[in-house]
């Protein structure tokens, strides 16, 4: 095949190497161009180098750079040729070679002496025979040795019954082919590629029949640096994957070199098998085999019958595992009462006393708001990106689990004890309330096992609610020593008011003197060099001459994650220039804490007619108000944060019930902002979550017009009906 006809790939064949070149020399020659996933120098039956080698890289770009650099260059006195390697699937149908290989006897022997054998001792024991490959079995004393000739197999079999390191050696012929992974998951000591065993037409037909029935694939000869996401990127285009399992070696925390995949539709698995078997993946040749049994998801719910209750449990488990979940900051009312009782030093029955003068629903709503605020502050201090939780459609992590519905007072060591049996843990972030936690695993396979085993399992007095956390929920990589010091350090609990005050007055800067053409991106970029930002936004207003267009107001606000960075920016960036205009900085006097992502998430949920309209800065629109709640209870929730001008609950025309939403008008803009920040995350009243939005000025006026129109329309209809009734009676 002409060189131009061979497609670009991550695997190279190097020809014309010096005779005395070793495999290590080949590796050193190419290692500067990227991570090498496979390196094989081929030898003849007499042990002499055949002067060609295969080199695999993780990416195509790395292989291309190496090819361009070394092709037709000299190594010593030898000119080498570097070419892209053809996929095995392009040349695996030669019937003569296949038949010869099928007839050849096994060249694999198993050596066992009852204790672990060192590689150096094994080479001395086998000398002068030189093995092609040695496979050590983890947690076993057996070693599999692959030889190149049948005569070498006979010579090694003669060593059966001799002694090695004082132990009698057992040598037997093995039918396994090097590279096949057994139940214990052994892998080659040199992490080399497998010697591909060609398949006959009968084998291919048999494999296709099994795959068409199960939809499951066994993929081996994977590089030890690949991830679950790498496999998804390659196999997902052929159809939806139900499960991807990449076993991890516990001792090295690296993949074992094989994976199990299950497709939702078996025909998609058959397509993937046909297209990818023998193809190049990260510098290695994929070998795909059928999995005789489907990959079964371990279920926490055992179905003993076909009852409706059992089916409902199964559906609940299935939807949860697939990613359908509930409110991220959900707190059970019972747990909230426990936390409040502990903080206030009172009995739980006093908090839940229905005979109290204040409303029980209001007490629980404000209590939940307080606990949520403390939880959010704790998570921010521990490097959790809360903006990730605002997007319900965000990609989910495969190694971080959100554990909810924990009993009050749970500590991190109890959580570690539950989850560390499934694998090595990273960070365990548990807020002071102890109601929800983030558990990080070092690899995704252990996390998947823990998730499926512990979901809905009882922990103390409550079932565990598990959910996959958003991807990249932690702002930094895990550091073991830093995590230990944080775990031993007690965290101070601050009140909701303190949180709002500290963040708004010490982290936020007011910036004026901006050019009217300055964008939010340029504005944020100017301050990012100082430190991480919560948000940076230019204040805008609607253009009265052009509907839907926003105009800059010449000033903006920037909030830093740390007050130290805000103080530093005030000193270093005072009178600096953005887009040619000198700016003036000072600490903001208004509480502007909500991040742009959260504001965008809230805005996206509003109706189309409200988008682009000027919003009120002191009036909050509250949706999803329970119908049993009254105006007094809504007032008691919001007047905690400041003086109210008015509370309006629009009512149904033919009933005295309200319509499930209301307008809360504050006297102060700062009080309105503080209330919005505290209540918008997860506040429930009588079991229903209050959904907060900023009311638009136009919608507020429209509501007043509608109320007035309804009043006069109803009055007119009443007079008309009375007149008709009078005329009818006179007739």
Determine the Cα–Cα distance for residues 535 and 556; give it in Å rounded to an integer.
11
Q: Which two tokens stand for residue 60?
A: 């195509």
pLDDT over threshold 90, residue 235: yes
- Which of 95, 186, 183, 104 lies closest to 145 in space, CA to CA? 186
CB-CB contact of 336 with 365 (8 Å): no
CA 455 vs CA 28, 224, 327, 329, 389: distances in Å: 48, 30, 16, 17, 20
Neighbour order of strands in the sheet with 396-404: 425-429, 437-441, 396-404, 465-470
Q: Which residue pairs from 656-661 have beta carbons closer than 8 angstroms and sit at least 24 positions apart in sequence?
A: 657/627, 658/625, 658/627, 658/631, 660/623, 660/624, 660/625, 660/626, 660/627, 661/621, 661/622, 661/623, 661/624, 661/625
CB-CB contact of 509 with 566 (8 Å): yes
Determine the Cα–Cα distance for residues 493 and 128; give it in Å rounded to an integer.
71
pLDDT tens string 64-116 = 999 999 988 998 888 999 999 877 654 454 444 444 444 445 678 888 887 88
Per the listing, tokens 């010697």 go with 195
Q: Which two tokens stand for residue 197?
A: 């065993």
Q: Print burial letters for 51-87: b (CB count within 10 Å at least 16), e (below 16).
A: bbbbbbbbebebbbebbeebeeeebeeeebbbebbbb
pLDDT over threshold 60, residue 676: yes
Range of 105-109, 232-236, 320-324, 603-607 with top mean pLDDT: 232-236
* Per-residue confidence band for 706, with pLDDT thresholds at 50, 70 and 90: low
User: What's the whole-model pTM score?
Assistant: 0.48
Give pLDDT, residue 97: 46
Burial of 452 (0-12, 13-18, 19+ CB in 10 A): middle
- Counts for the chain of helices (H) and strands (E), in that order: 22, 38
| Domains defined for the chain, CATH in brackets | 3-86 (3.30.70.330), 107-174 (3.30.70.330), 383-488 (3.30.70.330), 496-593 (3.30.70.330), 605-707 (3.30.70.330)
- Which of 458, 459, 422 lies closest to 442 in space, CA to CA? 422
Element at 437 (helix H, strand E) = strand 437-441
Q: Is the dihedral of CA 526, 527, 530, 533 positive or negative?
A: negative
Range of 141-155, 665-679, 691-705 with top mean pLDDT: 665-679
Determine the Cα–Cα distance for residues 611 and 698; give it in Å rounded to an integer.
11
pLDDT over threshold 60, residue 588: yes
pLDDT tens string 628-641 = 888 888 888 898 88
Q: Which residue pairs from 580-583 have beta carbons closer than 8 angstroms and sit at least 24 positions apart in sequence?
A: 580/515, 581/513, 581/514, 581/515, 581/518, 582/513, 583/511, 583/512, 583/513, 583/514
Neighbours of 707 (CB within 10 A): 12
Neighbours of 172 (CB within 10 A): 12
- Mean per-residue pLDDT, 196-204: 63
Residue 731 three-state SS = coil
pLDDT over threshold 70, residue 429: yes
């Amino acid at each position: 095949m002409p060189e131009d006809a061979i497609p670009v790939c991550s695997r190279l064949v190097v020809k014309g190497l010096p005779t005395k070149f070793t495999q290590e020399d080949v590796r050193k020659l190419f290692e500067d161009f990227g991570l090498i996933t496979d390196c094989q120098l081929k030898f003849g039956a007499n042990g002499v180098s055949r002067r060609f080698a295969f080199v695999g890289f993780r990416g195509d770009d790395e292989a291309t750079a190496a090819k361009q650099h070394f092709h037709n260059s000299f190594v010593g006195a030898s000119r080498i040729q570097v070419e892209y390697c053809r996929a095995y699937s392009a040349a695996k149908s030669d019937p003569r070679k296949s038949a010869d290989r099928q007839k050849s006897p096994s060249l694999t022997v198993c050596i066992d002496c009852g204790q672990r054998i060192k590689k150096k001792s094994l080479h001395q024991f086998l000398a002068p025979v030189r093995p092609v490959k040695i496979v050590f079995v983890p947690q076993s004393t057996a070693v599999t040795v692959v030889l190149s000739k049948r005569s070498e197999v006979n010579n090694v079999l003669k060593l059966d019954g001799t002694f090695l390191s004082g132990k009698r050696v057992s040598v037997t012929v093995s039918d396994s082919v090097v590279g096949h992974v057994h139940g214990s998951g052994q892998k080659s000591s040199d992490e080399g590629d497998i010697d591909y065993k060609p398949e006959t037409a009968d084998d291919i037909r048999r494999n296709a029949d099994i795959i068409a029935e199960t939809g499951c694939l066994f993929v081996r000869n994977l590089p030890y640096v690949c991830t679950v996401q790498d496999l998804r990127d390659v196999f997902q285009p052929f159809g939806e994957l139900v499960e991807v399992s990449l076993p991890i070696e516990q001792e090295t925390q690296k993949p074992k070199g094989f994976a199990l995949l299950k497709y939702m539709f078996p025909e998609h698995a058959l397509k993937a098998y046909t297209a990818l078997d023998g193809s190049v993946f990260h510098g290695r040749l994929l070998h795909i085999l059928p999995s005789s049994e489907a990959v079964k998801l371990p279920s926490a719910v055992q179905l003993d019958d076909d009852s409706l209750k059992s089916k409902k449990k199964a559906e609940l488990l299935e939807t949860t595992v697939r990613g359908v979940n509930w409110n991220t900051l959900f707190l059970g009312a019972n747990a909230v009462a426990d936390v409040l009782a502990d903080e206030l030093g009172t009995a739980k029955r006093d908090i839940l006393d229905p005979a109290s003068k204040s409303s029980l629903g209001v007490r629980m709503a404000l209590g939940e708001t307080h606990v949520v605020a403390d939880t959010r502050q704790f998570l921010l201090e521990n490097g959790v990106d809360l903006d990730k939780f605002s997007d319900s459609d965000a990609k989910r992590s495969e190694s971080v689990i959100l554990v909810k519905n924990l009993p009050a007072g749970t500590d991190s060591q109890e959580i570690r004890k539950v989850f560390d049996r499934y694998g090595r843990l990273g960070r365990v972030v548990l807020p002071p309330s102890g109601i929800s936690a983030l558990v990080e695993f070092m690899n995704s396979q252990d996390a998947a096992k823990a998730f499926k085993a512990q979901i809905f399992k009882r922990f103390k007095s409550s079932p565990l609610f598990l959910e996959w956390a958003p991807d990249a929920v932690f702002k930094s990589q895990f550091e073991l020593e830093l995590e230990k010091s944080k775990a031993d350090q007690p965290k101070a609990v601050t009140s909701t008011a303190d949180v709002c005050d500290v963040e708004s007055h010490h982290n936020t800067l007011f910036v004026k003197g901006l050019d009217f053409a300055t964008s939010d991106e340029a504005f944020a970029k100017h301050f990012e060099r100082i430190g991480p930002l919560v948000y940076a936004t230019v204040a805008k207003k609607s253009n009265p001459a052009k509907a839907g267009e926003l105009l800059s107001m010449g000033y903006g606000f920037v909030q830093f994650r740390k007050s130290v960075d805000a103080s530093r920016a005030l000193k270093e960036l005072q009178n600096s220039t953005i887009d040619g205009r000198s700016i003036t900085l000072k600490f903001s006097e208004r509480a502007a804490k909500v991040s742009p992502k959260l504001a965008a998430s809230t805005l996206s949920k509003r109706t189309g007619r409200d988008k682009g309209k000027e919003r009120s800065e002191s009036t909050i629109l509250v949706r999803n108000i329970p119908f049993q709640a009254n105006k007094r209870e809504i007032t008691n929730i919001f007047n905690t944060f400041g003086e109210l001008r008015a509370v309006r609950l629009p009512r149904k025309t033919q009933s005295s019930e309200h319509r499930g939403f209301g307008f809360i008008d504050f006297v102060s803009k700062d009080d309105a902002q503080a209330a919005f920040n505290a209540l918008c995350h997860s506040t429930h009243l009588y079991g229903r979550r209050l959904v907060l939005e900023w009311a638009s000025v136009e919608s507020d006026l429209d509501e007043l017009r509608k109320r007035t129109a309804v009043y006069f329309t109803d009055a007119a209809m009443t007079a008309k009906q009375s007149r008709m009734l009078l005329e009818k009676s006179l007739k």
